[in-house]
Amino acid sequence: MARVTMTIRPGADSVLHLWDITVRRGKTLLLDSLSWNVNADHRWVILGPNGAGKTTLLQIAAAQMHPTSGRAHVLGERLGAVDMMALRSRIGLSSAALAARVPAEETVIDVVVSAGYGVLGRWRERYDEMDFDRARELLEAMGISRLADRLYGTLSEGERKRALAARALMTDPELLLLDEPAAGLDLGGREDLLARLSRLALDRAAPATVLVTHHVEEIPLAFSHLLLLREGRVVAAGPIEETLTASALSETFGMPLLLDRRDGRFFAHAN
């Protein structure tokens, strides 16, 4: 695969700036000389097959991992020269790894509100009524306010993803990271969630957002930019209107694909 060369420069509005980063684990190369910049008003989708490096890239963006080499700046701070715990408090994250750590006996409202202390499982933290009001508003925004008093362990996979999306927004983050938020949802649940994410993307007060997916059908309307990733390398990156093409998608997934667009949504199938 030919390497994509891009001129990546951070600006005053940059919230995520990666320059020539590489991640190795033993002899395995997870990310290969990757450069990428996200501005405060950007809504990015990371798209690629299994093993492309999407989750690794999100871990770097979430300040959960250092690159093996290269420079990574998150919210103006360079990884390796900053208190990572303090930095993580400024980032909203929803991921499968996080979902697996939530205690099954925790109520949904407590899953959301406890983001204020960055903990999973309430203990002796103190919250006021404003915190709970904020949590309820976010559950309403995600369409699951009726589940506020339910135990997390009794939720369906789709309901858990919505609860974690609400949690990710609880602290008014400067950067929002969503790892496959529509995976495992039925058709109705997926479409409802994508509509809600589209409304969030249109909100000028919303944080810079990065959403990871395997499927073009799961790209919400109003998302502005696309990063196509294969084998740890960038295939293409830029505004969705310019970047998402049949040829770029075919190269990303290693097979001939056709790309259709209807009412602003994308659909792909084999050629």
Question: With 80 as the cut, is the pLDDT of residue 124 above it?
Answer: no
Alpha-carbon distance 259 to 246, whole Å?
5
186: pLDDT strictly greater than 50: yes
Q: How far is 59 from 65, CA to CA, in rounded Å? A: 6
Each residue's pLDDT tens digit, 227-263: 999 999 999 999 999 999 999 999 999 999 999 999 9
Q: Which residues contact 136 (CB under 8 A, 6 or more apart)?
A: 109, 145, 148
In percent, the amount of the chain with pLDDT more than 70 equals 96
* pTM of the shown model: 0.89
Q: Give the model's pLDDT for residue 10.
A: 56
Q: Report which DSSP code applies to 3.
A: P
Are 135 and 153 contacting, i.e. CB atoms less than 8 angstroms apart?
no
pLDDT in tens, 128-158: 899 999 999 999 999 999 999 999 999 988 8
Cα–Cα distances in Å, from 247 out to 106, 235, 238? 46, 10, 15
Using CA atoms, how far apart are residues 182 and 216, in angstroms rounded to an integer?
11
pLDDT of residue 217: 94
pLDDT at 2: 44
For 40-62, write each residue's pLDDT tens digit: 999 999 999 999 999 999 999 99
Q: What 8-state DSSP symbol labels residue 244? A: -
Longest pairwise C-alpha distance within the chain: 57
What's the mean per-residue pLDDT of the chain?
Answer: 91
Tokens of 183: 């995976």
pLDDT of 102 > 60? The answer is yes
Q: Are 65 and 246 in contact (CB under 8 A)?
A: no
Contact yes or no for 87/175 (Cβ under 8 A) = no
What ranges in the chain are assigned the alpha helix state H? 54-61, 84-88, 96-101, 108-113, 129-141, 157-169, 187-202, 240-243, 246-253
Domain edges within the chain: 100-172
Quickly count: other Cβ atoms within 10 Å of residue 140's Cβ.
Answer: 13
| Residue tagged 């990271």 (tokens) | 177
pLDDT of res. 9: 53
